[in-house]
Structure formats: C-alpha cells, structure tokens
C-alpha cells in the first residue's frame, strides 16, 4: 500500500537534522524543523522550509517532548516524522503515538522496537532466529542465587548486564564467584536508577572482542537485505571514535553468515526500515575460525551510516523515506556490491589534554577540508556557538578510497587541512591514531583505543623540517597561530604536562 508523504518533520538537531533535510529536498519533500532556544541560529533551522520553537535548551524541555512535537507536526501539516538518532528515535511509545495520530514514524513498528529494546527479549528472538548469541540467561535473574547457578553453568568470567540497558550502563564484569553477589546488587540498582528497571541478566564475558555491526534495510512486504558491516572497535568509554566499512577483519564468508543471521532476526521480529545488528566477534586472527555473537539490535539510523553509504553507493535516508512511503525495496541481496573503503572520524568539541572534557563555545574560525573522496557531515559554521546542552559532536569526517590504506592517507590529508578555532577538538588525536602501526595493520579490538591513549607514541617518527628555510617556518607558525589562536595558546601553556600534552605540542609545531 502506497502512503503519501509530502512534508516531513525532522525531530532532531545538528548534523543529522541537516542530513535528513538534504535527503528530503532531493526527493522533493517539504521539511519542518523544530528547535530549542540554544538552536535558534542552528543550520537545520536555516535550511528547513519551516521551523518551530520547542522550548528551552534542555533536551527534556525541547527535543524529547514527544507530545509537543506531534502537535507541531499536526499544525504544520507534516505527514511523517523522522526522529534521526538519539532523542525519541528508539522510543516505542512515541512511535505508537505517531501511528495513533496518523503520522508516519520513519522507522520500525513500535512492536519491533519493544521486542528489540529489551536485551533479554532480544536474546529470545535471537534464539528463535537461530542467531548465535553469547552464552547466558535469556530472562531476568530473580535473585543472587539464580545468578550463582547460571554463572556456574557458563563458567567465569561473566558479565552482568541491564535488560533495559545499552552503552555500558548497569554492566559489570565478574571474574570470580566471590565477587558476584555485590556486583549483582550494584548492577541491579544502577539499572533501576538509570532505566527504571532493575532487571539484569548474565552473559559469558568475551575478552578483547571486536565490535562489528551489520546494516539492514527491510520493507513492508517481508523483503530484508544487509548492506555489509561496519567496524566500530575503536571506542572510548562506549563512545565510537572511528568507524570503517568494510571491516578489514571480515571475510566474504563471515560477512554472508553475519548478514544472513541479522536478516533472520529482523524478519522474525517483524522489522521494517533501517536497523543495525551489533555483534561481538572473536578469533578474527584465525581465519575461518571466527565466532560472532549477537549483542543487540539498534532500531534507528545510526551516526556512522555514511561509511555504509560510501561503500554501497546507496542513500540510506532516501531508502528509509521510500520504505516509509510503502515502496518495495526494489533491490535484491545480489544487487548489493561493496566497493572501496570508507573511514569516519567523529570530531568532537572536547579536550584530549584534559580527560576529554567537553569544550563547547564559539567557533571563531573554520577551514573545512574537501577535495577528492572527502565527505563531511556537520552543521557548524564560523560564528556558531556549540551548545553545552547536547552531545558535543561537531562533525563526521569521512574519507573514501579504493583501499583501506589509501582511505587512511586521504583522511590524514583532510585532517591536516582542518582548522577549527576557538574551541578544543580531538582532531590531533586522530592524526596520531592514523599514524599508529597497530591501527594501520587493523590490529584493533574494543580495548585498542584506551590502550593507545595510555601509551602515547612519543617515539613516532617526525617529518624532517630541515629542508625548510627558517623564514618559511616563521611564516607558517604565524599563520597557524592566527588561525587557531586558542589552540596555539594551549600549546604553550606550562604546568603539569601529560605525555599527551607533549605529543600534542609536537603535533602542533609539525602542522
Ligand atoms: C560485552 C563484552 C564482553 N563480553 N559482553 C559494552 C556496551 C554494551 N552494549 C555491550 N558491551 C560489551 N559487552 C560480553 N558478554 C564487552 C563489551 C564492551 C564493548 C562492546 C562493544 C564495543 C566496545 C566495548 C567496550 C567495552 C566492553
């Protein structure tokens, strides 16, 4: 059944709101933006056809107000809402409220969101779909005694997880029987506090896993395809930092097995639209012996979707919109071909020299990279004040090339072009990661970044500057200083110097 969509309300902000507006415009759809007081001057407000104020800056007073957003949609005559990621995107009650008012929620049905939103129910769905999952319980643990029994069955080390959780909250690794009781009550009360449900379950602990996820797209007619994987092992405190597609560690055979399992799970949950199945993978150093385990399914468009777009040549947001209109996918699995390699760096307003503290504020100067194979998804401009009320991600810088090595070189070139003045950013950290031998050899797992940050590469080879005349160096330094005055000041600050600070200063002088 075809559904008419002519006007889309974008229930989000920042780079993803802009990304969604762009897809709508290319398809001839009108757009309605919503904004908080902090975002009056934001680019998504500027680029949409109409914009409505929601309230004060706090997300709970603005982008999380589902009922108000629905009122705006009705007033503006929008026939669909795209939630983007975060905010209301995985809120099944909101998806249901949209349906009740005859407004199309661009995402899966509320019923599928409910099944997959509970980790224990999702594990049951995985079993029903013959999808490999980490050994452990598939229902909440009634008490410590039950936890003891399950842990003894699967063997230590184990991991306690919140059924309503995600992102590492309410999670506890337990290495010995004696530690289980206190970890159980800690995990359970943290889960209760964070999610309003104290339900926890147990899994076998997988040590040094890789985090690899499969992108799915399903239509209303039972067609579902996988669009390859993304390698997301480079994380810090459960925040992804670099993503790539494809994963250097996934063979064609492993990709097919993971993709087919992900499709089975989605179909068994009645899934429609874009979704991502996350896996823990171990044994990628032993080709043919890799094991993958279902972790969770994300029922939204993800931050890192651009790397999949680059290697598939598809526009995932346009596909989402067409599926929401009731169109069939129009693609079979064999139509999906991966080509080349894409890397994404998440550039944040944060200070790597000060425990990655958020560094919001006024962007005084901005020189953005471009050229062959570079895509930048962002919503910043010189003069924009990065609000402290939301996630401080500034930009997703994406490099695409024929090979992983060429994509890394291209990313390095783009990072070297990038100047953001007025606020601290993690750009320098990416320059160092991309020089790292282990990263370049794809020797990465979920612990890679924390290990790397704990031991900065002070002895990395520096480019010789001896062939540059002194006056040229002086001009370059003056130019750099004028472009990034605040950063430059930080480079000359004295005080307790971390090894990172030293590495960062050398990086700054080199640049
Ligand atoms: C695990 C695990 C090891 N074993 N589960 C972290 C976030 C949450 N969504 C799942 N997480 C993990 N679950 C078992 N049984 C290790 C992690 C984990 C992790 C997973 C993906 C990406 C980065 C991570 C960093 C630390 C721990």
Q: How confident is the model at residue 165 (pLDDT cuts 50, 70, 90)?
A: confident
Q: Is the CB of 205 under 6 A from ligand 1?
A: yes
| Nearest atom within ligand 1 for CA of residue 203 | 15
Of the residues 134, 173, 240, 295, which should be mutated to test ligand 1's pocket, given the most ligand atoms within 8 Å of the CB? Answer: 295
Q: Is the peptide bond before 157 cis (omega within 30 degrees of 0)?
A: yes
- Where is 201: in which H helix or E strand? strand 200-204
Q: Give the C-alpha separation, 275 to 262, whole Å.
A: 10
Of the residues 118, 446, 447, 448, which should be mutated to test ligand 1's pocket, given the most ligand atoms within 8 Å of the CB? Answer: 446
Q: Is the CB of 213 under 6 A from ligand 1?
A: no
Q: Look at ligand 1, atom 6, and give the residue with the nearest C-alpha.
A: 168
pLDDT, tens digit, 9 for 90 and up, residues 361-413: 999 999 999 999 999 999 999 999 999 999 999 999 999 999 999 999 999 99
pLDDT, tens digit, 9 for 90 and up, residues 191-225: 999 999 999 999 999 999 999 999 999 999 999 99
Q: Are 183 and 216 in contact (CB under 8 A)?
A: no
- Coil, strand or helix at 313: coil
Distance 233 CA to ligand 1 centre (A): 10
Q: Quick one: average pLDDT of 177-190?
A: 95
pLDDT at 326: 98
Q: Quick one: average pLDDT of 57-79?
A: 98
Q: How many CB atoms lie within 10 A of CB 380?
A: 21
pLDDT, tens digit, 9 for 90 and up, residues 429-461: 999 999 999 999 999 999 999 999 998 655 554
- Return left, alpha or beta for 313; rule: phi > 0 is left, psi -120 to 50 is alpha, else beta: left
To the nearest whole number, what is the mean pLDDT of the chain? 92
Q: Quick one: average pLDDT of 300-317?
A: 98
- Coil, strand or helix at 339: coil
Q: Give the C-alpha separation, 490 to 499, whole Å.
A: 15
pLDDT, tens digit, 9 for 90 and up, residues 80-138: 999 999 999 999 999 999 999 999 999 999 999 999 999 999 999 999 999 999 999 99
Q: What percent of the chain has a predicted confidence (pLDDT) above 70?
A: 89
* Least confident window among 133-137, 165-169, 233-237: 165-169
pLDDT(510) > 90: no
Q: Quick one: average pLDDT of 69-84?
A: 98
Q: What percent of the chain has a predicted confidence (pLDDT) above 90?
A: 86
Distance 236 CA to ligand 1 centre (A): 12
pLDDT(234) > 50: yes
Full DSSP string of 366-420: EE---STTEEEEE---TT-EE-SSS--EEEEEEEEESSHHHHHHHHHHHHHH-EE
* Of 248, 239, 220, 244, nearest in space to 450 by CA: 239
pLDDT at 121: 96
Q: Look at ligand 1, atom 7, and give the residue with the nearest C-alpha.
A: 168
Distance 295 CA to ligand 1 centre (A): 8
Q: Is the CB of 69 under 6 A from ligand 1?
A: no
Q: Give the C-alpha separation, 19 to 271, whole Å.
A: 23
Q: Which residues are the active-site residues? A: 300
């Amino acid at each position: 059944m075809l559904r008419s969509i002519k006007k889309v309300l974008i229930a989000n902000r920042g780079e993803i709101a802009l990304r969604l507006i762009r897809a709508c415009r290319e398809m001839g759809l009108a757009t309605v933006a919503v904004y908080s007081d902090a975002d009056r001057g934001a680019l998504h407000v500027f680029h949409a056809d109409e914009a409505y104020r929601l309230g004060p800056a706090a997300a709970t007073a603005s982008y999380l107000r589902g009922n108000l957003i629905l009122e705006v949609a009705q007033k503006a005559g929008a026939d669909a809402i795209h939630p983007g990621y975060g905010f209301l995107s995985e809120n099944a009650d909101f998806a249901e409220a949209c349906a009740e008012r005859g407004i199309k929620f661009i995402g899966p049905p509320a019923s599928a969101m409910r099944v997959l939103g509970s980790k224990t129910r999702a594990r049951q769905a995985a079993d029903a779909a013959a999808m490999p999952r980490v050994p452990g319980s598939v229902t909440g643990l009634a008490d410590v005694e039950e936890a003891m029994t399950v842990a003894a069955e699967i063997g230590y080390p184990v991991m306690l997880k919140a059924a309503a959780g995600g992102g590492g909250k309410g999670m506890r690794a337990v290495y010995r029987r004696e530690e289980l009781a206190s970890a159980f009550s800690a995990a359970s009360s943290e889960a209760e506090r964070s999610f309003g449900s104290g339900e926890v379950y147990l899994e076998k602990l997988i040590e040094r896993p890789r985090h690899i996820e499969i992108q799915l797209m399903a239509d209303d007619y039972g067609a579902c395809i996988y669009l390859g994987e993304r390698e997301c092992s480079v994380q810090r405190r459960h925040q992804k930092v670099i993503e790539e597609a494809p994963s250097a560690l996934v063979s064609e055979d492993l990709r097919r097995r993971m993709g087919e399992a992900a499709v089975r799970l989605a179909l068994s949950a009645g899934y429609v639209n874009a979704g991502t199945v996350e896996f823990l993978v171990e044994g990628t150093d032993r080709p043919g012996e890799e094991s993958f385990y279902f972790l969770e399914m994300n029922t939204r468009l993800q931050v890192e979707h651009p790397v999949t777009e680059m290697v598939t040549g598809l526009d995932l947001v346009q596909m989402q919109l067409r599926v929401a209109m009731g169109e069939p996918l129009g693609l079979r699995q064999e139509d999906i071909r991966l080509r080349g390699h894409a890397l994404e760096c998440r550039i944040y307003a944060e200070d790597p020299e000060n425990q990655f503290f958020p560094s919001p504020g006024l962007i005084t100067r901005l020189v953005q990279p471009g050229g062959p194979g570079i895509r930048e998804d962002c919503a910043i401009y010189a003069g924009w004040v990065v609000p402290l009320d939301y996630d401080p991600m500034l930009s997703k810088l994406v490099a695409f090339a024929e090979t992983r090595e060429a994509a890394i070189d291209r990313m390095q070139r783009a990072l070297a072009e990038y100047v953001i003045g007025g606020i601290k950013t993690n750009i320098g950290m990416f320059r160092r990661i991309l020089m790292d031998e282990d990263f370049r050899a794809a020797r990465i797992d979920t612990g890679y970044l924390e290990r790397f940050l704990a031991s900065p590469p002070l002895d990395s080879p520096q480019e010789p500057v001896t062939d540059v005349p002194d006056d040229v160096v002086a001009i370059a330094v003056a130019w750099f200083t004028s472009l990034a005055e605040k950063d430059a000041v930080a480079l000359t600050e004295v005080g307790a110097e971390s090894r990172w600070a030293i590495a960062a200063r050398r990086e700054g002088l080199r640049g």
